[in-house]
A and B are shown apart, each in its own frame.
Chain A
Amino acid sequence: MSGIFEYNGGSIVGMKGKNCIAMACDRRFGQQMSTITTNYQKVFKIQDNILLALSGLNTDIHTFYALMEKEINLYNLKENRKMKPTTFANLVASALYERRFGPFFVTPIVAGLENGKPILATYDSIGCKSDLDDFQVGGTGGNYIYGACEAFFKPDMNPEELEEVIGQSLVSGCDRDALSGWGGVVYVLTEQKLTVKILKTKQT
């Protein structure tokens, strides 16, 4: 409870499926042991085919998201085209390393669909990218969510199964973490659409 990453609390998880990706996050915004609101946004749609989830210090979540939004808008204006998810994943790593000696206290997860192929990348707070796993977690409840993910996950799930699995993993994980929870949101991205569902969870 005493670290800067534990000050606000929160958990995120990302998973790959068959031609789809899913992200889930809790909704708590707290200050140490006190909960302030239960509707804080932690997953952002950067582009129609890219989602960025952030966990860590909430002020840096907001600032880093605003920075990424600026970068992608400028890219669209300069290059007159959309950014590929793999390019965005690299951009996040560079943007984090730019602040190597005064970092953003966030642990991002990037998920996207590039020509139908799912991309998932996670980083530490100074930009070490890891994109080889089928699911990734972040935040104070991350380790508890890992357990549930390992139990429920199987490769190449369809969007409905993926939504169910990621929702259950998030909820089970957050139930064991005092600093995460108070609601959950699941995002499932396919070639055709982005589905956003709010989970009914423990509000304690």
Chain B
Amino acid sequence: MIDFDPSTFGLAHTYQKEDKDEINTLKMPSAPQVIYRTLNGPTQTNGGNKLNNFKHGTTTLGFVFKEGILLAVDSRASMGSFLSSEQVRKVIEINEYLLGTMAGGAADCQYWLAYLANHCRTYELKNGSKLSVAAASKFLQGILIGYKNSGLSMGCMIAGSDLSGQHLYYIDNDGMRLKGDIFSVGSGSTYAYGVLDNHYRYEMSLNEAVELGIRAIYHATHRDTASGGVVRVYHIHQNGWTKVHDGIDVVDLHYQFAQQKGLVGDGDEAKQRLF
């Protein structure tokens, strides 16, 4: 399973004439080795209270419809109650036909999805055809099962297009791999599911799907403190993926949706006492 020699930690090699038996490509740092395993079950984070576990502070969603797959994500990163960034990119472009979403530990998601990208390219070169979405997601699942209980935090969706169509998988650090039509991951997922489940139809057009994705993320950012920033939307179709929206500010969306309902959006419709 491991393509790289564990002893070449962090070293870059170029092709040497003497090494004619093996082609040394630029070696990535080798995958981290777990030194010990906890014997007592999953590592506790933040006192074990899942609602306070800010590592999953995010809202990402994806759903399959007749024109392919739509992915929509927010862009907030928080450390406890401090907002460290409102401009994070939570959709990782693995290659031209595969996308991954980030939820949980940013470092974990970035590293392992880049590792997956490397593996996909190597497979393509060795076998002459692209790796299927099912195989790519299974490869990632295999890695995460190997690191089970060691404290990785990832709740990502792998979405892509291959010869058999467009497919959406949910992978998490427990080693779960689920194929499905609708997923939402992160602390704001409950709010997003409410909106998504209400208006989802397989026969939606692309515009309707984009509108639904944006609305669901907006509602999650309004209610969930750990989600916010901007909405980024990607569409996966038979020719790969397209970035539909690079960043729509959810603040603008709030006042836009309020206006559509004939309201002002300042929370004062009930004319609450002010002083």
The distance from the CB of B255 to the nearest CB of chain A, in whole angstroms, is 8
Are A2's CB and B274's CB within 8 A?
no
Are B51's CB and A32's CB within 8 A?
yes
Q: How far is the CA of A203 from the CA of B223 in the complex (A)?
A: 9
B273 within 8 A of A: yes
Of the candidates B46, B83, B251, which one forms a contact with A203 in the assembled complex, judged by CB atoms under 8 Å apart? B251
**CB neighbors of B among A163-204 (8 A):** 175-179, 182-183, 185, 187, 194, 196, 198, 200, 202-204
B36 within 8 A of A: no
Are B272's CB and A41's CB within 8 A?
yes
Are B47's CB and A200's CB within 8 A?
no
- Contact A39-B272, Cβ < 8 Å, known A1-B54, A34-B223, A179-B225: yes
A111 within 8 A of B: no
A37 within 8 A of B: yes
The interface size bin for chain B is 20 to 34
A27 within 8 A of B: yes
**CB neighbors of A among B46-67 (8 A):** 46-47, 51-52, 54, 57
The distance from the CB of A56 to the nearest CB of chain B, in whole angstroms, is 14
Residue on B nearest A38 in the bound complex, by CB: B267
**CB neighbors of A among B233-275 (8 A):** 250-251, 254-255, 265-268, 270, 272-275
Are B83's CB and A177's CB within 8 A?
yes
- Contact A179-B81, Cβ < 8 Å, known A1-B52, A34-B223, A203-B254: yes
Q: How far is the CA of A183 from the CA of B81 in the complex (A)?
A: 18
Which chain B positions have C-beta within 8 A of A187?
275
B110 within 8 A of A: no
* Residue interface mask A44-67, B partner, CB < 8 A = 1: 110000010000000000000000
Of the candidates B225, B251, B266, B270, which one forms a contact with A33 in the assembled complex, judged by CB atoms under 8 Å apart? B225
Task: Show the binding face of B for A, using Cβ within 8 Å.
Answer: 46-47, 51-52, 54, 57, 78, 80-83, 187, 221-229, 250-251, 254-255, 265-268, 270, 272-275
Can you list 24 contacts pairing A with B, beta carbon distance less than 8 Å? Answer: A1-B52, A1-B54, A1-B81, A6-B81, A33-B52, A33-B57, A35-B224, A39-B268, A41-B273, A41-B275, A45-B275, A51-B275, A176-B83, A178-B78, A178-B82, A178-B225, A182-B267, A198-B274, A203-B222, A203-B251, A203-B265, A204-B221, A204-B250, A204-B251
